[in-house]
């Protein structure tokens, strides 16, 4: 058996002992009312990652809790050397700093009202960001082991090749990564509908099995409440033409990317895994919301299998695009990091496909840009699960 990663891995050591694979300085809006400020700040200080908010005013209950958890997760991410949290009034950023402190990271804050309007906030924020960049530049890479690594697993724009090649190849790699002590997080419980037998078989305990099934079926109920019968509308006519007959095989094809190791439990949206192994995160399937959840949950990077092609990457978690669809590989090569179309004719086998993904992961960890980073096709957006008042 060859080594899992063909080169030594390196990362930036953070105060809390974790290591990041990027050395980003970020500016995060605590609510949508300071988005113009954070956008202008990011423009003034090049190289700053801008994390605007979609909402933030009048959120409540579980929805508000989810938003705070995710924002804190992004601000405290290992790939972020330093983060400036911007809010309109002090309370909004304080709620986030309390949480980042619990996660072991300190962040800077900037308050629009306290600074006294846009111009003063821009001047103050720019000073802070320049200082953060200077400090970040001091950081050096240190050795990092696979056991310190968290990988997000995602698929989107799936087709026949995803279920046959892309996801199984990623699944094989996931098994080897887990055996090396790593942590992998998949999500999209809605795409596990019909894969219940697998979830039961792979749950680390009966209690976890119940939790997995409850999480999956909650999406089914939610869809039914909104008049959508997921089991009745899946597979779609496109899927059927591609050879899928049942929702079970569609889900098992998606779950193939998670390998075969025991599933440790269910994480809330944007929650970090408490220990190594495979975890399911409760996040919707929409790609941007999904990669945002995985990033907020501390994924160093995301392996994203696509069939027909999906360009999105997350600004904080480098997102590796993998496709075995020959058309996508030919038509959108600049959007792909790991082309696997040669698995179709047997030129490379599953193990070689997995090795190709591993080699790409190694390069990306050690600093190489992903296709999405290179193209700046990066987006962040936290899911909403409730209304504002």
Partner 1 sequence: MAVAATRAILLTAKDDVAAVLGALPANGEVSVTLSTSGEVQRPLTARCAIPFGHKIAVRPLVVGQKIIRYGYPIGVATRDIGEGEHVHSHNMRSLLSPADPHSGDDRILHDAAQLRDLVTACLRAAGATEPAARAMADALTEAHLRGVETHGLRRLRPYIERIRAGGVDAAAEPAIEHHQALIRVDGRNGIGHYVAQRAAAAAVDAARRLGIAIALIRNSNHFGFAGYYAGLIARSGQLGLVISNGQVCVAPEGRMRPFLSNNPLAIAAPTGDPDAFLELDLATSVTSRANVVQAAKNGQRLPPGWAQDNEGRMTRDAAAALDGSLLALAGDRGFALLFALEAMTGVLAGGAYADQVSSKESAPHAPEGTAHTIIAIDLDLALGTATYAARLDDMIARLRAVPGDAARPVRYPGERRWRLRRQRLRDGIPLAKADADDLMKLAAELGVTVDPALTGSR
Would you tell me which residues interact with partner 1 (CB under 8 A)?
A: 160, 164-165, 168, 172, 193-198, 200-201, 213, 217, 231-232, 240, 242-243, 245-249, 252-253, 255-256, 344-346, 349-351
Closer Cβ to partner 1, 146 or 194, answer by number: 194
Closer Cβ to partner 1, 91 or 221, answer by number: 221
Closer Cβ to partner 1, 16 or 221, answer by number: 221
Could you tell me which residues come within 8 angstroms of residue 328 by beta carbon, excluding any fewer than 6 positions away?
Answer: 306, 307, 308, 309, 336
Closer Cβ to partner 1, 248 or 271, answer by number: 248
> How many angstroms separate the CA atoms of 162 and 254, rounded?
8
| Phi, psi of 145, deg, nearest 5 | -105, 160
Strand 150-156, strand 183-186: pairing: parallel
Decide: 71 and 48 in contact? Cβ < 8 Å.
no
> How many angstroms separate the CA atoms of 320 and 361, rounded?
8
Shortest CB 347 distance to partner 1, Å: 11
Closer Cβ to partner 1, 223 or 344, answer by number: 344
Shortest CB 207 distance to partner 1, Å: 13
Closer Cβ to partner 1, 94 or 246, answer by number: 246
Decide: 278 and 179 in contact? Cβ < 8 Å.
no
| Phi, psi of 48, deg, nearest 5 | -90, 135
Q: Which residue has the tokens 């993904």?
A: 357
Shortest CB 168 distance to partner 1, Å: 6
Burial label for 110, CB within 10 Å (0-12, 13-18, 19+), is buried
Q: What beta strand segments (E) does 206-245 contain?
A: none
Shortest CB 169 distance to partner 1, Å: 9
Shortest CB 260 distance to partner 1, Å: 8
Tokens for 289, please give them. 């919301």
Shortest CB 304 distance to partner 1, Å: 20
Closer Cβ to partner 1, 165 or 269, answer by number: 165
Decide: 154 and 317 in contact? Cβ < 8 Å.
no
| Phi, psi of 29, deg, nearest 5 | -85, 130
Q: Which helix (H) or strand (E) holds 305?
A: strand 301-306
Shortest CB 218 distance to partner 1, Å: 13
């Amino acid at each position: 058996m060859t080594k899992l990663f063909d080169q030594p891995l390196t990362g930036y050591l953070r105060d809390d002992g974790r290591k990041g694979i990027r050395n980003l300085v970020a500016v995060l809006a605590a609510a949508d009312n300071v988005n113009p400020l954070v956008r202008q700040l990011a423009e003034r200080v090049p190289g700053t990652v801008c994390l605007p908010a979609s909402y933030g005013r009048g959120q409540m209950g579980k929805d508000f809790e989810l938003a705070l958890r995710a924002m804190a997760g992004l601000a405290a991410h290992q790939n972020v050397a330093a983060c400036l949290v911007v809010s309109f009034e002090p309370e909004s950023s304080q709620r986030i700093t309390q949480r980042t402190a619990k996660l072991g990271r300190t962040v800077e804050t900037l308050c629009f009202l306290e600074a006294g309007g846009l111009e003063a906030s821009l001047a103050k924020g720019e000073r802070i960001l320049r200082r953060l960049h200077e400090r970040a530049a001091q950081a050096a890479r240190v050795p990092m082991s696979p056991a310190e690594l968290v990988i997000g697993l995602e698929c989107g724009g799936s087709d026949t090749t995803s279920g046959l090649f892309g996801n199984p190849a990623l699944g094989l790699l996931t098994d080897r990564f887990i055996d090396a002590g790593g942590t992998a997080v998949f999500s999209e419980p809605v795409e596990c509908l019909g894969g219940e037998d697998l979830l039961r078989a792979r749950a680390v305990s009966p209690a976890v099995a119940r939790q997995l099934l409850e999480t999956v079926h909650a999406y089914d109920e939610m869809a039914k409440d909104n008049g959508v019968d997921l089991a009745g509308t899946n597979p779609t006519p496109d899927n059927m033409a591609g050879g899928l007959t049942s929702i079970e095989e569609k889900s098992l094809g998606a779950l193939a990317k998670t390998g075969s190791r025991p599933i440790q439990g269910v994480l809330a949206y944007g929650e970090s895994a408490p220990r190594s192994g495979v975890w399911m995160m409760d996040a919707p399937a929409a790609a941007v919301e999904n990669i945002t959840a995985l990033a907020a949950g501390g994924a160093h990077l995301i392996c994203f299998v696509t069939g027909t092609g999906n360009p999105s990457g997350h600004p904080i978690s480098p997102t590796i695009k993998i496709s075995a669809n020959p058309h996508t590989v030919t038509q959108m090569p600049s959007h792909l990091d790991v082309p696997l179309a040669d698995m179709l004719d047997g030129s490379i086998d599953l193990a070689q496909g997995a090795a190709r993904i591993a080699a790409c992961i190694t390069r990306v960890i050690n600093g190489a840009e992903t296709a999405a980073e290179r193209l700046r096709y990066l987006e962040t957006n936290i899911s909403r699960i409730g209304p504002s008042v």
